[in-house]
Structure 1
Amino acid sequence: MKLTICTLFSALILAQGAGAHAEGIFANAFRSKLKKPATADIKFVAMESQNAVATAGHQQGTAPSDSNIQQVSCCQETSCDTGCDSWFSQEMCPGTGAYGGDSRVAASIGFNQDVFFGNYTTAAAGYAVNEKVDVTFYSILWHTDFFSQGAGGLGGAGIDGTGLWTEFGGGLNFKMMDGALNVNPQLGVLNGALLSRGIGGGTNTPEVWDGIVPNLTVNYGDSALESQLYMGYYVGTEGETNNDYLHWWYNAGIRPWSECNDWRSVLSMGLHYEMLRQTELAGGGDALNLYQWFGPYMQVALPNGLSMRYSAGTNMDDNVGLGGDFYKVTIGYSF
């Protein structure tokens, strides 16, 4: 039943992606039909302008360079999404680019540490198919030996640092409310020996497609408010009995000084709630919450794309010996 639900979820994402891609191709073709080719008079005027720039450079005593002379553009109108520049640097109307920005391509990388998962690195990238839909990819590199088949991990044998749990996936991002709201369903593939432990004749060797994880991320951000909802269901695919998990969190906060023209404009603060629940155990037993965290967070988000967030509070379900407190730090860079 679980695999059937996940298969339907994957098919829905792929169908939406095909439709969005076709819509983007049709829209670009239609725009190209409306654009008229440059006439000889326009090209002549552009060349005269270039000569004027070069002459001005000589008069000022500086030699003209390639940066002073602009080539005749392939587009004769100033509009959003002209398609003239490199695909990486194409600008779009604000709110219609990748992840609701103004560029066709956007990406981010994050370095994370918390009391349960230890260290892990995240990466995400999106390409704006059109003003409403992005194609997205992501990866999570789990660095903790406990999640591997290493000597100190769940496998109980092997070499520390090998067979680390590795996650990779992709999906679609739907942009709404002028890019302020982003809804991003994705499907990930797990590799390692954490979910489907005990496969291969009782061994815990790392496996390709150890599991799958349908997941959903919803982000909202405007000049005063920010929030994020994440939910992922980690399902083992190889063993007869697996370690399946439901992982989700929600946080929301305010930017009280966003309109200020000083250092306070980069600050935000709010509350964070997070739960990790084991829904199926490889060795049998009842489902239980591994942890349930709640507490405040504070974030610094600089205009150059660098951000740092610190969350801390109480652990309301101490079922694995973590103690009564939790802490979590994320350092990110968006570009």
Structure 2
Amino acid sequence: MKTTFTQFLKPVALAGMMVLLHSATVNAQSDDDFSFSISLNSDQFFGFAPVFSGAYSVSPTVDLTFYGILWSGGTGGGWGNWTEFGIGANFNVADGVAINPNIGVTGGNLLSSGAAGPSIFGDGIVPNLILSLDKPSVEGEVYFGYYAPLRDKAPADGSTNSYIHYWTNLGYRVSPKLSFGAHFEHLLGGPTSESMADAYQWIGPYVQFSAPKYGVFSRLTAGGDFVEGNDSFFKVGVGFSF
């Protein structure tokens, strides 16, 4: 089943990338239709992981999107300088509610060889989905991503890896400058030939400070870990958009 799924995704991903990139060239006519954000994130599992994302408006309700994650810091340093890049489309389905499906590709060796082989481009493929809520007094996000090996470079006595990563958070905006809420995040996976095991399962509160005038924010999230042998978790993020 894994091989069949991966073989199906290869031509779909390549075709989708070509169509979306062409759309970006045709429809993005001015900087007024473009937005971009950068966030610098750190936690005890992934280490330092900068993220960037951008969007080209192609209609009042649809944006062409792209993103990148530099997973290279912390534990990721042993995964062949792991990186991720993807493209997708954001649909504003209601006032303050949007859904953003994406398809990403990774570079490194975490998925393709179980961190046992050389670093390669096309290490894995990442279909993912983001649901966002942005209201005057309420904010929230749901993310789900499936990390599947795109190439099989596993040694004879090893295996490729696959993972499921998802989170959800919901918060209350006290003012445009201050918000707080709760965050839940789960990562599970490992060798493709085995059942998925929990890497972590975090839950805890967050507090965010923002300066809308300058497009900047900072967020601290911390709490407990349900996985046996783990203790607590922390996530610190700072970012800006323009």
- Tell me the TM-score range normalised by the shorter chain: 0.7 to 0.9
Give the aligned residue type for 1:176. Answer: V
Q: From 64, 67, 75, give the equivalent of 1:138.
A: 67
Contact 2:134 2:140 (8 Å CA) reproduced? yes
Asked whether 1:181 is paired with 2:94, we answer no
Query: Could you say which residue in structure 2 is the equivalent of 1:229?
Result: 142
Query: Could you say which residue in structure 1 is the equivalent of 2:218?
Result: 308
- Displacement of 1:141: 0.7
Contact 2:43 2:234 (8 Å CA) reproduced? yes
Query: Could you say which residue in structure 1 is the equivalent of 2:5?
Result: 2
Aligned positions of 1:1-150 closer than 5 A: 1-3=4-6, 6=9, 10=13, 87-88=30-31, 90=32, 104-144=33-73, 146-148=75-77
Q: Which one scores higher on RCO, CA 8 angstroms, separation ≥ 6?
A: 2
Asked whether 1:324 is paired with 2:231, we answer yes
Runs of 4+ more than 3 Å apart: 4-18
Query: Could you say which residue in structure 1 is the equivalent of 2:197?
Result: 288
Name the count of aligned residue pairs. Answer: 232
Evaluate the alpha carbon distance shift between residue 306 and residue 13 of structure 1 in structure 2; reply closer, same or farther with a 3 A threshold.
Answer: same
Give the aligned residue type for 2:110. Answer: L
Residue-by-residue CA offset, 1:135-178 (whole Å, 9 max, x unaligned): 11110111326334xxxx36xxxxxxxx4001111111111324
Evaluate the alpha carbon distance shift between residue 119 and residue 145 of structure 1 in structure 2; reply closer, same or farther with a 3 A threshold.
Answer: closer
Contact 2:177 2:210 (8 Å CA) reproduced? yes
Evaluate the alpha carbon distance shift between residue 273 and residue 9 of structure 1 in structure 2; reply closer, same or farther with a 3 A threshold.
Answer: farther
In 1, the alpha carbon distance for the partners of 2:75 and 2:234 equals 19
Contact 1:230 1:249 (8 Å CA) reproduced? yes
TM-score (norm 2): 0.85
Asked whether 1:165 is paired with 2:54, we answer no
Residue-by-residue CA offset, 1:5-35 (whole Å, 9 max, x unaligned): 63586489569959x959x97xxxxxxxxxx
Give the aligned residue type for 1:193. Answer: N
In 2, the alpha carbon distance for the partners of 1:119 and 1:14 equals 28
Query: Could you say which residue in structure 2 is the equivalent of 1:100?
Result: none
Evaluate the alpha carbon distance shift between residue 287 and residue 268 of structure 1 in structure 2; reply closer, same or farther with a 3 A threshold.
Answer: same
**Secondary structure, aligned partner of 2:136:** coil
Query: Could you say which residue in structure 1 is the equivalent of 2:170?
Result: 252
Asked whether 1:272 is paired with 2:183, we answer yes
**Secondary structure, aligned partner of 2:151:** coil
Contact 1:13 1:185 (8 Å CA) reproduced? no
Gaps of 5+ in 2: none
**Secondary structure, aligned partner of 1:142:** coil
In 2, the alpha carbon distance for the partners of 1:298 and 1:246 equals 26
Evaluate the alpha carbon distance shift between residue 175 and residue 17 of structure 1 in structure 2; reply closer, same or farther with a 3 A threshold.
Answer: farther
- Displacement of 1:4: 5.2
Alignment RMSD: 2.8
In 1, the alpha carbon distance for the partners of 2:11 and 2:72 equals 31
Give the aligned residue type for 1:317. Answer: V
Evaluate the alpha carbon distance shift between residue 185 and residue 177 of structure 1 in structure 2; reply closer, same or farther with a 3 A threshold.
Answer: same
Gaps of 5+ in 1: 26-82, 91-103, 155-162, 259-264
Residue-by-residue CA offset, 1:81-107 (whole Å, 9 max, x unaligned): xx9xx811x3xxxxxxxxxxxxx1101
Residue-by-residue CA offset, 1:25-78 (whole Å, 9 max, x unaligned): 7xxxxxxxxxxxxxxxxxxxxxxxxxxxxxxxxxxxxxxxxxxxxxxxxxxxxx
Evaluate the alpha carbon distance shift between residue 253 and residue 198 of structure 1 in structure 2; reply closer, same or farther with a 3 A threshold.
Answer: closer
The share of aligned pairs that are identical, in percent, is 36
